[in-house]
Amino acid sequence: MMRRRQWLQAAAGALAWPGAWAQSAPEGAPEGAASIVVARFGAQPAPGAVRKVFAAGPPAGVLVAALAPGKLLGWPITLGDEARALLGPGLRALPHLGRLSGRGSTMPLERLLQLQPDLVVDAGTADATYVSGVRRVSEQTGLPTLLVQGRIAEHAAQLREVGRLLGVAARGEQLAAMADDALALAARVRAAVAPAQRPRVYFGRGTDGQGLETGLEGSINVELIDFCGGRNVAAAAGRGSLARVSLEQVLAWDPEVIVTQDPGFARRALADPLWRDVAAVRARRVHCAPLLPFGWLDGPPGVNRLIGVRWLVQHLYPGHTLLAGLPPWAEAVRQFYQAFYGCTLTPAQSHGLLGESV
């Protein structure tokens, strides 16, 4: 969440533009319900009038794809054949359009206008920069835009509220119920395990096989660690987002568990003599989560991470009684891919995902 001063600046800027508002509950929401909508700009369409949606960034792309696959105009990120194979037919065929938010826009506003979306949606960490960017798009194009919060704890509310705003409230409720189950599992773990007893975890990011990029305290990219009852060792380096670290720093932090989405790094950490003194390596607790069609832990930091909650809990607390009574893991993965991506996993695809999930 933003600091109070940043929030006031952002809200003031939003309210200065006609048709914009921040943090109010949408029509149809339960009375007194908190909203995850940070800002709206322009004349917002009625839910039933939303036919075409442009997703401004990767988290918004996954969100809209899950909620209203028939309304998403295209992907803000490039998806390879392996990723598209794990999507339903409609989503698999969508073109790559480019992004408006994040690390550099690749969508010209002229092209955006040609697409004639009924709504532009963005999702993520809603700081003053994001609010300013969303406002600027609406001012320059005249298109209605919507910005919603995107932290892991907000995903159930995000699915419900954006589902209502896109005219797919029933689907939003269905997916939000699955999100509620994942979030409740993480909450039970945090309640059952005292902070001092939680395992020290290092998240080795990147695709270069080095694993020396990670997230500092407060980073949305690694927030699942603390959310699922671990302790992010990189928090010792202070607050921030992503950072490059050294092997010497990792050795000093001495994590008990290493997680990654880079199979090359997972193999290297277990085989490289330079990593052998890390407690996680000695205990063979180096785990690689699947990355397709979207990362289970990050990449992007969106609702795709909901399947990663149980995956991470299982690897942080193997055999814990809190895992008793949960649906079989293979069935949970199958249900998630069907519900969120419209993909009926083949036995080979299921085996590939579960085999990769080590």
Delineate the domains of the chain, giving CATH numbers in brackets: 4-180 (3.40.50.1980), 194-356 (3.40.50.1980)
| Cα dist from 208 to 23, 224, 263, 264, 325, whole Å | 40, 22, 10, 8, 38
Classify 113 in phi/psi space as left (phi over 0), alpha (psi -120 to 50) or beta. alpha
Nearest to 340 by CA among 313, 305, 298: 305
pLDDT, the chain, mean: 88
pLDDT for 358 = 53
Which residues 6+ apart lie within 8 Å of 115 measured at CB?
52, 54, 73, 97
pLDDT for 36 = 87
Nearest to 103 by CA among 221, 256, 19: 221
Q: Could you give the residue ranges of the DSSP H alpha helices within the chain? A: 4-15, 58-67, 81-84, 89-92, 109-115, 128-141, 155-165, 169-192, 224-227, 247-253, 263-271, 279-282, 306-316, 329-341, 347-356
Tens of pLDDT, residues 150-178: 899 999 999 999 999 999 999 999 999 99
Q: Residue 148 — φ and ψ, nearest 5°? A: -125, 150
pLDDT for 128 = 79
Q: Residue 303 — φ and ψ, nearest 5°? A: -65, -15
CA distance 293 to 209: 20
Tens of pLDDT, residues 103-148: 578 888 999 999 999 999 999 877 777 788 888 889 999 999 999 9
Identify the residue with better confidence: 149 or 259.
259
- Check whether 324 has a pLDDT greater than 60: yes
Tens of pLDDT, residues 272-306: 999 999 999 999 999 999 999 999 999 999 999 99
1 band by pLDDT with thresholds 50, 70 and 90: very low
CA distance 321 to 67: 33
pLDDT for 103 = 59
pLDDT for 16 = 30
Tens of pLDDT, residues 81-112: 999 999 999 999 999 999 886 557 888 899 99
Nearest to 234 by CA among 285, 119, 218: 218
pLDDT for 137 = 86
Q: Residue 154 — φ and ψ, nearest 5°? A: -100, 0
pLDDT for 357 = 57
29 band by pLDDT with thresholds 50, 70 and 90: very low
| Cα dist from 262 to 15, 18, 118, 224, 357, whole Å | 43, 45, 37, 17, 11
What value does the mean pLDDT take over residues 190-194? Answer: 96
Tens of pLDDT, residues 211-239: 999 999 999 999 999 999 999 999 999 99
Burial, 53: exposed, middle or buried (Cβ in 10 Å; 0-12, 13-18, 19+)? buried
